[in-house]
Amino acid sequence: MQVYADNAATTQISRVALEAMMPCFETYYGNPSSLHSIGQEAKELLEDARQRVAACLGCEAREIYFTSGGSEADNQAILSAARYGARRGKKHIISTAFEHHAVLHTLQKLEKEGFEVTLLDVRQGHNITAQQVHDAIREDTCLVTCMYANNEIGSILPIAQIGEVCKDAGVPFHTDAVQAAGHLHIDVKAQNIDLLSLSAHKFHGPKGVGALYARRGFPLVNVIDGGAQERGKRAGTENLPAIRGMAAALEDACANMEENMGRVRAMRDKLIAGLSRIPHCDLNGDRENRLPGNVSFCFEGIEGESLLLLLDMKGVCASSGSACTSGSLDPSHVLLAIGRVHDVAHGSLRLSISEYNTDEEMDHILTVVPQVVQQLRNMSPVWRDLQTGKREFIL
Ligand SMILES: *Cc1c(COP(=O)(O)O)cnc(C)c1O
């Protein structure tokens, strides 16, 4: 058995999305900017896709800009709000300590340009409150950017309340909704969201395509300069197949959200209950307000990397927060932000499931993970020190 439990990294494309894409390769291959009939047919399909994406978010079609994915949408949203703020003498931005790097690295770039960034503490309940946002807002705040839901630990932020705080203070509000779109109900108007990013490959759409919602009249700056596509705000010939695939996938996800997420939530709760029985482990992320497909644990006395390799050998494709990228052994900034110490953060495991998973697969995970954790602990010098009392348990 092979179980794919890494849906927060990317998802398998759906049949619906694939079928929406194929005609764009074979028949509607025109450039939407061309004036002839083949171009204009493509243009119609493009605008139809825009309308569909907008309907899923509760906004107007002209408020949707297609991008190359979530990262580009995050960059454009934040840079736009920053430039607009700077013109009015406002150079303070509020965000959280557990944002995706697409947000954090953009903020770091702005800091080098003289912006001041406040990152809200996420240790309490592995989440933030709207009150924290309220208390951090200053006269010179030009943007609040808080993710809708965290990709590593699954916490869902109080978006509607944050939106209200921002509206009352007259501060633009951006949310990176890459993990939420297609999984949670979004209504940008009711939630007072000014800017929102999403990415198709996180909801069974194709990779390399996403969207930025920007409230009508919001002054966007270009990240990609060139032609006049996307109302002059994002140059480059539109990736019509991907855009059609994204619209179909989002529509499908939203139409079946309640049923799919109900099933996914039940599988998630079964995993959390089963894995909690492993000694000296702890759940990461908000216990109540949690993405339907997210399971994230820290296990004391093991290394996340070895856990992943052994799990893969036993047919479970998962992820760890402690990716030792380019030789550095830094654990995930998200796990450190919620207050995990380095040793504990290194023993992390994220299982992210979707409606494509089955109950049998959950049973397989529940058999294999405790075995592999025990196997690794038996070989671990750290675990031996914990057992003999030379080192104290944290979890
Ligand atoms: C995946 C992800 C992104 C990046 O999206 P891409 O389309 O891969 O660029 C941004 N934010 C969050 C929360 C994500 O999970």
What is the CATH number for 285? 3.90.1150.10
Q: Is residue 93 part of a domain?
A: yes
Ligand 1 in contact with 154 (CB < 6 A)?
no
Based on the domain organization, do 64 and 189 belong to the same domain? yes
Tally of domains within the chain: 2
Q: Is residue 145 part of a domain?
A: yes
Based on the domain organization, do 302 and 216 belong to the same domain? no
Q: Of 229, 255, 281, which residue sits at a domain end?
A: 255
Based on the domain organization, do 190 and 62 belong to the same domain? yes
Residue 9 CA to ligand 1 centre (angstroms): 8
Ligand 1 in contact with 68 (CB < 6 A)?
no
Distance CA 256, CA 266 (A): 16
Ligand 1 in contact with 151 (CB < 6 A)?
yes
Q: Is residue 238 part of a domain?
A: yes
Spell out the residues 6+ positions from residue 378 whose beta carbon is closer than 8 angstroms to its own.
Answer: none
| CB atoms near residue 214 (< 10 Å) | 26
Question: Which of 101, 122, 147, 178 to mutate to test ligand 1, by most ligand atoms within 8 A of the CB atom?
Answer: 178
Based on the domain organization, do 126 and 149 belong to the same domain? yes
Ligand 1 in contact with 230 (CB < 6 A)?
no
Q: Of 255, 278, 293, which residue sits at a domain end?
A: 255
Looking at the annotation, which residues are catalytic? 324
Q: Is residue 345 part of a domain?
A: yes
Based on the domain organization, do 330 and 217 belong to the same domain? no
Based on the domain organization, do 124 and 80 belong to the same domain? yes
| CB atoms near residue 147 (< 10 Å) | 27
Ligand 1 in contact with 205 (CB < 6 A)?
no
Residue nearest to atom 15 of ligand 1 (CA): 151
Distance CA 77, CA 180 (A): 17
Question: Which of 6, 104, 147, 151 to mutate to test ligand 1, by most ligand atoms within 8 A of the CB atom?
Answer: 151
Q: Give the domain range for residue 339.
A: 3-10+257-388
The CATH number of the domain where 167 resides is what? 3.40.640.10
Residue-by-residue DSSP string for 173-232: EEEE-TTTTTTS---TTTTT-SEEEEEGGGTTS-SS-EEEEE-TT-----SS-SS-TGGG
Q: Is residue 157 part of a domain?
A: yes
One digit per residue, pLDDT tens: the chain, 395 residues? 999 999 999 999 999 999 999 999 999 999 999 999 999 999 999 999 999 999 999 999 999 999 999 999 999 999 999 999 999 999 999 999 999 999 999 999 999 999 999 999 999 999 999 999 999 999 999 999 999 999 999 999 999 999 999 999 999 999 999 999 999 999 999 999 999 999 999 999 999 999 999 999 999 999 999 999 999 999 999 999 999 999 999 999 999 999 999 999 999 999 999 999 999 999 999 999 999 999 999 999 998 899 999 999 999 999 987 555 445 567 899 999 999 999 999 999 999 999 999 999 999 999 999 999 999 999 999 999 999 999 999 99
Q: Does the pTM of the predicted model rise above 0.95?
A: yes
Residue nearest to atom 10 of ligand 1 (CA): 70
Based on the domain organization, do 132 and 240 belong to the same domain? yes
Based on the domain organization, do 263 and 236 belong to the same domain? no
Name residue, tokens 């140059």. 235
Based on the domain organization, do 153 and 277 belong to the same domain? no
Question: For the chain, what percentages of helix, strand and coil (3-state, to nearest 5) are there?
Answer: 45, 15, 40
Q: Read off φ and ψ for residue 263, nearest 5 degrees.
A: -65, -45
Distance CA 383, CA 343 (A): 11
Distance CA 143, CA 162 (A): 12
Q: Is residue 364 part of a domain?
A: yes
Q: Is residue 395 part of a domain?
A: no
Based on the domain organization, do 181 and 261 belong to the same domain? no
Q: Radius of gyration of the chain from Cα atoms?
A: 22
Q: Which of 3, 18, 357 is nearest to 201 (CA)?
A: 18
- The alpha-helical segments, DSSP class H, found in 287-332 are 304-313
Q: Is residue 393 part of a domain?
A: no
Based on the domain organization, do 296 and 193 belong to the same domain? no
Residue 368 tokens read as 């294999």
Q: Of 225, 255, 285, which residue sits at a domain end?
A: 255
Based on the domain organization, do 336 and 378 belong to the same domain? yes
